[in-house]
Structure 1
Amino acid sequence: MVNQLLYGESFTVLEESGSWSMIRSNHDAYAGWMESAIVHSSPQESYIQDRILTSTCYLDRLNTLLSPGSFIDMKIPESLSCHFPNPELTISEALNLISKNFLNVPYLWGGRTVFGVDCSGLSQLFLRFCGLHIMRDASEQSDMGFTIPFEELKLGDLLFFHNDKYKIIHVAIVFAETQVIHASGKVHLANFDQTGIYIHSNSYTHNFAFAKRLLNTI
């Protein structure tokens, strides 16, 4: 599995081959194959959504538990009106939501739900809660925003980490002055410094490359 679509996310079918369809998600242009049997076409107006769920929600009629970040469609008769609160959270609110719903969730390559999530899926969801849609993979996310000196880090900044070939392979979210929240083994809080993420002072698990800011904190 390379990726997951959350409830209500739309996609475009690029090609079909046997019982499989090559699709591209409309929110981040990520492509992959899915079984054609679960592909359902909709008129364009039905997949334009304005509101996102920012907490785990149970839909009684569907008997379905939706993971944070899912979309829902609502049709309101012209004779009625309703008010929606601003769906965009502050950085602190989004960090609290991420920690409340995802701490100890197991790592799953390509995952984006409370049943399993990977590092870039977690950062993508965090920024969605703040109203920003970003790319899927850590390497793609590292090309976004602007670079921040280590001493100027703020909550919500993204930290990127490289392998021995200096390729970006991991991303974490600044959660506190010396802590990040990230998905590695499971979603957890970890200490970091300018060298990387560490368990003990001489035991580093991820090598720090640079930090990026994608959100306006002013």
Structure 2
Amino acid sequence: MPTSVPRPGRRRATAALTVLASAAALALPSATAHAAGPQRAGADAPSAPSGTPPTAYVDVAVATVWTGPDSPRPVDAPALTDPVHPDAWQRAMTGEQQKELVSEGLTQTQVQYGRPVYVLEKKDGWSKVAVPDQASPKNPLGYPGWIPDAQLTRNAHYGAVSAHRPFALVDKHLKTQLYDDPQLRSKTLRIGVNTRLPVLGRTGKAVRVDTPDQGPKWLSAGEVSLHRRESDIPRPSGDDLVRFAKKFLGLPYLWGGRSGFGVDCSGLTSTVYQAQGIELPRDADAQALHAGGRKVAKDDLAPGDLLFYAHDSGTGAIYHVALYVGDDKMIEAHDLKPVRISRARFDADYWGAMRYLP
């Protein structure tokens, strides 16, 4: 997403549960700490310093961050509720209404279930927030915007559990299901890729997690990877990034989208990298200019590099980013069309490429 132009019922589990006395009891994959470069996603980040705003947690599958409380239109009602209905919202919008999200700059980004936000201000049932795991030059605390209060909870217990437990990362499919029971029969909430929830225990086929609003729930062990801390996510290769990005093929384009329900260009690239353990800023221009990568010549492109496009024949404001696949192809979310593989465009608007891997 460019920043310089308008953007085109509980059931107590009893069966075979291994309740962990401590997070260290989990048999989790190990990984070595990696060298400097782009920041490892949440890499053992310290607690928020004193004086930071209060923290709330997203308690819907995905919360859209709006430019202001007056940004939503009547058609956007499915995106404002708890529970939220992201698929119904996108189906309800006409093509022109999709374009309005871009031309009027109505939405900014999205935040996954269970993720923290800093509450900067409250107004008429809305909270102005900063999203700490989505870096932006707009605010040093994180990506700013507004979320309906109905989609946030202040759950100090959940926050404490999240800070000290291993987590389950949804990374096998674009969407997965939370369940009430370890037999995975009673479905509750459908959540999206890159969601992280603190782990309380596991059975052979299910992982028990805490949630910000429903207490302990269950995930299929085959739908998640488990990590003690963010920095334990194994460092990806370029091919790993491409394989993960291909999971998004066919996903609808959504201006400000950053979830398994819809993405925009930089929502795609930042999510792919973050789910693979590398933190990039939220927006395309910041990914190019403020992410600690290095510029790569066209002849030296490798899978996983990011390609950027700018106005004024490649010299102006950056408006688009795509992920290089290899063989002069790239994966992109562009022009309100679903995520797809395209021929890499080395036209007048091509700004250049950046690499964030060693």
1:149 maps to 297
Residues of 2 paired with 1:94 and 1:64: CA distance?
27
Say which SS state the counterpart of residue 252 (structure 2) adopts: coil
2:178 maps to 59
1:91 corresponds, among 235, 238, 242, to 238
Give deviations 1:181-202, integer Å, cap 9, x for gaps: 0101220001125326xxxxxx
Q: CA deviation at 1:10?
A: 1.0
Alignment of 1:137 onto 2:283: yes
CA contact (8 A) 2:307 2:324 kept: yes
Residues of 2 paired with 1:137 and 1:13: CA distance?
21
1:45 corresponds, among 153, 160, 184, to 160
Residues of 2 paired with 1:74 and 1:141: CA distance?
31
1:36 maps to 149
State which structure, 1 or 2, has the greater radius of gyration over its C-alpha atoms: 2
Residues of 1 paired with 2:345 and 2:109: CA distance?
30
Alignment of 1:18 onto 2:124: yes
Q: Which residue type is aligned with residue 36 of structure 1?
A: D
Alignment of 1:213 onto 2:355: yes
Q: CA deviation at 1:176?
A: 1.7
CA contact (8 A) 1:147 1:212 kept: yes
CA contact (8 A) 2:166 2:199 kept: no
Q: Which residue type is aligned with residue 214 of structure 1?
A: Y
Alignment of 1:163 onto 2:276: no
Q: Which residue type is aligned with residue 55 of structure 1?
A: K
Q: CA deviation at 1:76?
A: 4.6
CA contact (8 A) 1:110 1:121 kept: yes
Alignment of 1:180 onto 2:286: no
Residues of 2 paired with 1:115 and 1:70: CA distance?
12
Unaligned 5+ segments in structure 2 are: 1-106, 135-141, 181-186, 203-224
Residues of 1 paired with 2:115 and 2:188: CA distance?
18
Q: CA deviation at 1:114?
A: 2.7
CA contact (8 A) 1:15 1:23 kept: yes
User: What's the RMSD between the two structures over aligned residues?
Assistant: 2.2
Residues of 2 paired with 1:67 and 1:90: CA distance?
23
Say which SS state the counterpart of residue 198 (structure 2) adopts: coil
Give deviations 1:54-84, integer Å, cap 9, x for gaps: 123322226222211111111259xxxxx94
1:114 corresponds, among 256, 260, 269, to 260
Q: Which residue type is aligned with residue 54 of structure 1?
A: D
Q: Which residue type is aligned with residue 213 of structure 1?
A: R
CA contact (8 A) 1:180 1:191 kept: yes
Whose RCO is larger (CA < 8 A, sep 6+)?
2
Matches within 5 A, 1:72-87: 72-76=197-201, 84=226, 87=233
Q: CA deviation at 1:50?
A: 4.7
Residues of 2 paired with 1:24 and 1:98: CA distance?
26
The percentage of counterpart residues that share the same residue type is 27
1:200 maps to none
Q: Which residue type is aligned with residue 347 of structure 2?
A: T
CA contact (8 A) 2:120 2:127 kept: yes
Q: CA deviation at 1:128?
A: 1.2
TM-score (norm 2): 0.52
Say which SS state the counterpart of residue 250 (structure 2) adopts: coil
2:87 maps to none
Q: CA deviation at 1:37?
A: 2.3
TM-score (norm 1): 0.83
Name whichever structure is richer in helix by fraction.
Answer: 2
Say which SS state the counterpart of residue 181 (structure 1) adopts: strand
Give deviations 1:115-164, integer Å, cap 9, x for gaps: 21100000001111221111111111111211111111110000110123
CA contact (8 A) 1:8 1:72 kept: yes
Q: CA deviation at 1:2?
A: 1.3
In structure 2, relative to structure 1, the CA distance for the partners of 1:176 and 1:7 (3 Å cut) is: same
Give deviations 1:9-62, integer Å, cap 9, x for gaps: 211101111211101112121011011222211324234365422123322226
2:193 corresponds, among 62, 68, 82, to 68
